[in-house]
Amino acid sequence: MNNQKQWWGKGDSLLILGLAFMGMIAWLVSRFGFVGADAFLIKSNNNGIETIQTVTLDSDKTITVKGQIGEMQLEFKPDKGARVASSTCPCQVCVNSGWSRTEALICVPNGIIIQPKLNNQKPDTADAVTR
């Protein structure tokens, strides 16, 4: 028992801290940095903004997400990007935004952001869209 205790020195603590630091960097990169393929991050504002789902643009997909005031139907196509097909929000700004590949789609009443993550950026891909 005593012998085991003496093996735990400052160096071991530093090693653990170092590993934790590396883990934090890895998390930061995955949280804010790079995603493997073109994808959309679906973020919710229910309990602070957090990513609730990642949808890769590898095939046609339709998913339903639950927002603050109701459900939203989201549609994804590899050639077009994403769009809000339907939403329970009164203003319908998100639905009226249409298809998007480079800009975030936002539904303020539902607290939902559909944010693009385009890693394989084509030369003609814009950094942002003014609208």
Partner 1 sequence: MDDEKKVNTTEVNAEEKVQAENTQQKPEQAPRNPADIELTPEEIKKNLKKRLVSSSILILLLILVSSFFYVHGDTMYFEDTRFLMNTAYTIKTYGIKGFLGMQAAFKKIHQVENLTSFYQQGSGLSSLNKTGSYVYDFNNKQKRDLLREIAMGAKFMYENTDGYFDPSFAALHEIYGFHTPDKIGRLPDDTELANTMLKCGYNHVLHIEGDKLTLNSGSMIDFGGIVGGYSIMCARAILQASGCKAFLIDDAGDIWFEGEKPDKSPWKIAVKDPRGGSSLAMIVSKTPLAISTSGSYERYVTVNGKKYGHIMDPKTGKPADYYDSVTVVSLDPIQSDVLSTALFAMPPEKAYKYAEDKNVAALFLDTKGEITVSTKGKLYFSDIKVK
Binding site for partner 1 (CB under 8 A): 2-3, 5-7, 9, 11-12, 14-15, 18-19, 21-22, 25, 28-29, 32-34, 43, 45, 49, 90-91, 93, 96-99, 102-104, 106, 108, 111, 113, 115, 124-131
Q: Is 8 helix (H, G, I), strand (E, B) or coil?
A: coil
Angstrom distance (rounded) from CA 104 to CA 113 = 7
DSSP class of residue 102 equals S
Half-sphere exposure of 56 (CA within 13 A, CB side): 8
Q: At closest approach, how far in Å is the CB of 29 from partner 1? A: 8
Q: At closest approach, how far in Å is the CB of 25 from partner 1? A: 7
Q: At closest approach, how far in Å is the CB of 21 from partner 1? A: 7
- Comparing CB distances to partner 1, the nearer of 48 and 59 is 48
Strand-by-strand arrangement of the 61-66 sheet:
61-66, 71-77, 81-87
- Comparing CB distances to partner 1, the nearer of 86 and 115 is 115
- Comparing CB distances to partner 1, the nearer of 33 and 36 is 33
Question: Residue 116: which of 108, 107, 106 has the closest Cα?
Answer: 106
- Comparing CB distances to partner 1, the nearer of 63 and 109 is 109
Q: Which amino acid is at 106?
A: I
Q: At closest approach, how far in Å is the CB of 60 from partner 1? A: 19
Angstrom distance (rounded) from CA 21 to CA 39 = 27
